[in-house]
Structure 1
Amino acid sequence: MPVPEFVLSLREKIGHDLLWLPAVTAVVLRDDGRVLLARRSDNGNWGLVSGIVEPGEEPAVTAVRECLEETGVVAVVEDLVAIKAGEPVQYPNGDRCQFLDHTFRCRWVSGEARVNDDESLEVGWYHPADTPPLPPHQRARLDAALAHDGRARFVV
């Protein structure tokens, strides 16, 4: 997966130090209740569409952009489900970062789910009870979006 140019620029200044990054997760649902999932090319895990917020970009705009870029699906954001700080991550090259995730519940508008860039190996629609295995944080985001009652979840 290509590292955004602004992250590369920051890495020139801070090396492998911990970098705090805003991120989004898009839980895209069809009218029949199926959810959009993609199998990542970097680690082979199945998960929801996600990505890093570009400087100056609104998080909800990022969610819509990432859906189109990664899967060819046009989605509209319906609600903010949760905001949560993830655990720090260390990549094989030594870079460390921590993501502040904004999970959005989204509705499919158009487009056939397909691998649309090099970030995914497979893309498809799944019934929430019959998904491929998901990492725990991804399952928690999906479950939160499915149970969403109109109030965003966050830790106080």
Structure 2
Amino acid sequence: MPHLFVYGSLKQGFVNQHVNTGRRVPGQFRTSDKFGLYLLGKGEVPCLVSPPGHGHQVVGELYEITDADIQRMDRLERTGDPDGYERVEIGVERFDPPATEIFTAFVYLRQHCNIPAATPRIGPLDEYRLEHAARFSWQGAN
């Protein structure tokens, strides 16, 4: 069964958790590579930015997903739209004891080159937390 790594509004306890119908994998997870996690635009929308290599190993949650799960989340993340997210595979590691495990997982992100330079941004962050989510508002395209 494929995996999905979520780092923002699709996490448990966050605004879009109802769209994420995958089965959560127990443990603590982070990206294997460093990524920029930013709050973008006036709505402070969480966004993982590619290419990797800068920022932090981003902490999030790992889910087992079905095709139906991913279709729902693809609609939310507007995959295929010019201002939407891409769904790509990355390395994710479990970092709580007893030992590190490595997984391949889908993640939603945007390419740095597709984000207008004038877009307000906060970060890079290592984790999207509830205090960030309290300021989130959907404002349309960033």
TM over 0.5, shorter chain: no
In terms of fraction of residues, the more helix-rich structure is 1
Rg (Cα) greater in structure: 1
TM-score w.r.t. the length of structure 2 is: 0.32
TM-score w.r.t. the length of structure 1 is: 0.30
